[in-house]
Structure 1
């Protein structure tokens, strides 16, 4: 009888942890690292503050997990950027996924952007290791495509920067986009049009056709 209870308890703990992480992402996006607190996060997720402390111990630990989580999601979005992949298809899927994440998880992108604007006081070591290694790996793949004549010669690093800047713009500047869209959120149709337009612009820049 104890094993099912243990499984249920473990699942409940994981669900609670994920709820706190999601709430923390929203709070850090709105208030920044300094303005956020366990109290605000607990209120956002409708849990006692002690629960947040129990799962994450310190604000810095929770913040790092939020920042690392959004990067890991972005990194998974690029899984198809492999040496034997079709470049236009792989990059198109990457752009599609990054834009979809901008739509459904804008707060994570805002937390990341705020951290970088402040010169990464909490996660500089993460940039110097995980981000640098991942970026260099993707650059090697793109350079390999160029060497094999699969895409036209371009600067791979600048291509990645252009993809990041364009896709994350739709998360980091949602208020500006809504203001220019007659104070309305982008509709499903507009998001589809956005994905097509961004891919047309960026993929045409590498196409040999």
Structure 2
């Protein structure tokens, strides 16, 4: 029985991932109000009833999509720990965030749109789990400052700078490629972003 349940869980996870990927494109293209379950089903190449099997309605799908985006970010980008050297930890954090803008720009755009519209779905998260997570990251930066490993900088603004500068290449990619006179950014372009932002931010923290 345990094996059957595990198999069923894997199928459920895979099906929801397909729906989430289709929903990202739909919400980015039309926004929450303009998005439709019908088009999401067409994008995912599945029956509309299959979406309602996993999600009550469009609102439920949107809420679960945002939760999934946040879960991925918290799992993959929680790299700032006191047992790591700041140069290593910050460099890895910047690279991970830039590469996420490259590999999954729609997640960043959906999250940004939610915040721009006043975070109606994420308000409780921002005032609860997010604040707790943020303070854990701030405490790491403060520990580095106390040990003399980095200059005295405002931890909150350092994190805001990293978030905004890295996610800029997803949220404002149209502006970026126009400014660079390109049709799209290449892998080399994103590597240049990593190098440039890492140099600027580490130097601003007094790290050679």
TM over 0.5: yes
**Contact 1:87 1:150 (C-alpha < 8 Å) held by counterparts:** yes
Distance 1:207 1:55, change over 3 A: same
1:4 and 1:127, CA in 2 relative to 1: closer, same or farther beyond 3 A? closer
Inter-CA distance 86–57: structure 2 relative to 1 (3 Å threshold):
same
CA-atom RMSD in angstroms: 1.8
2:120 corresponding residue in structure 1: 121
Superposition TM-score, scaled by structure 2 size: 0.93
Question: After TM superposition, which residue ranges in structure 1, 4 or more long, deviate above 6 angstroms?
Answer: 2-6
Shift of 1:76: 2.6
Q: Deviations over 1:45-93 (max 9, x none)?
A: 1111111111111222211221122222222333321112101110110
Equivalent runs, 1:1-209 vs 2, <5 Å: 8-209=7-208
Which ranges of structure 2 fall in alignment gaps of 5 or more residues?
A: none
- Kept in 2, the 8 Å contact 1:37–1:59? The answer is yes
* Structure 2 CA distance for aligned equivalents of residues 38 and 75 of structure 1: 28
Q: 8 Å contact 1:77–1:98 — kept in the other structure?
A: no
Contact 1:74 1:98 in 2 (8 A): no
Judging changes above 3 Å, is the alpha-carbon distance between structure 1 residues 160 and 14 closer, same or farther for their aligned structure 2 residues?
A: same
Contact kept? 1:27, 1:40, Cα under 8 Å: yes
Provide the TM-score with structure 1 as the length reference.
0.92
The answer to whether the Cα contact below 8 Å between 2:138 and 2:156 also exists between their aligned partners in 1 is yes
Q: Distance in 1 between matches of 2:127 and 2:8?
A: 38
Unaligned runs of 5+ in 1: none
